[in-house]
Amino acid sequence: MGIADDAVEIRARGWRTLAALHGLIEARLERALQSEHGLSVVEYTVLDALSRQDGWHMRMQQLARAAALSASATTRLVTRLEDRGLLTRILCADDRRGIYTELTPAGERLLAAARPTHDRALASALGEAADVPELAGLVGALADRELLGAPEAAVV
């Protein structure tokens, strides 16, 4: 195996490690949020993204990016959350063609109740992952970034 092959294998190993950590975290979050609040991880992600915006609203394409979903999947998800009274759609005041998705007071209350569950499940999953030799280095790197006050990724 040459140097180029070694580099490819190192990147592939890194990707597998990241995917394993993501899977462990997502499974833990999904179980906790679903059982305690009737929310999926992606539903929580959408509510959380909206709550972090001024006015608690975003355009659909912004929301799709924040949730890493296609436009059609975002529309279906927003419709489900709207049917539950957690979101509403409103016309953009400065561009009547644009539609905002907005967090409702009921959505904000559910999110406030779910945040401690999310944070607890995340901490538990990271603690479990830190004990897995293959994942410990990545968990440590994430913890180091957090301790150093690395900026959060911006939601556009």
pLDDT in tens, 145-154: 665 444 554 4
What is the overall mean pLDDT for the chain? Answer: 88
Q: What is the pLDDT of residues 107-156, one digit of tens each?
A: 999 999 999 999 999 999 999 999 999 899 989 888 776 654 445 544 33
Does residue 57 form part of some domain? yes
User: What pLDDT score was predicted for residue 156?
Assistant: 35
Residue 110, domain extent: 3-132
Count of CB atoms situated within 10 Å of the CB of 109: 11
- CB neighbour class for 88 (10 Å; exposed up to 12, middle 13-18, buried from 19): middle
- DSSP bridge partners of 29: none
Distance CA 16, CA 110 (A): 34
Does residue 140 form part of some domain? no
Q: What is the pLDDT of residues 57-104, one digit of tens each?
A: 899 899 999 999 999 999 999 999 999 999 999 988 777 778 899 999
Share of the chain above pLDDT 90, in %: 63
Number of compact structural domains in the chain: 1
List all residues 6 or more positions away from 113 whose beta carbon is below 8 Å from its beta carbon. 37
Does residue 103 form part of some domain? yes
Share of the chain above pLDDT 70, in %: 90
Positive or negative, the CA dihedral 74, 60, 89, 45 is positive
- Global pTM reads 0.82
Does residue 138 form part of some domain? no
CATH number of the domain residue 19 falls in: 1.10.10.10
Which is it for strands 87-92 and 57-59: parallel, antiparallel or unpaired?
unpaired
18-47 burial: b if 16+ Cβ within 10 Å, else e: eeebeebbeebbbebbeeebebebbbbbbb
Count of CB atoms situated within 10 Å of the CB of 135: 18
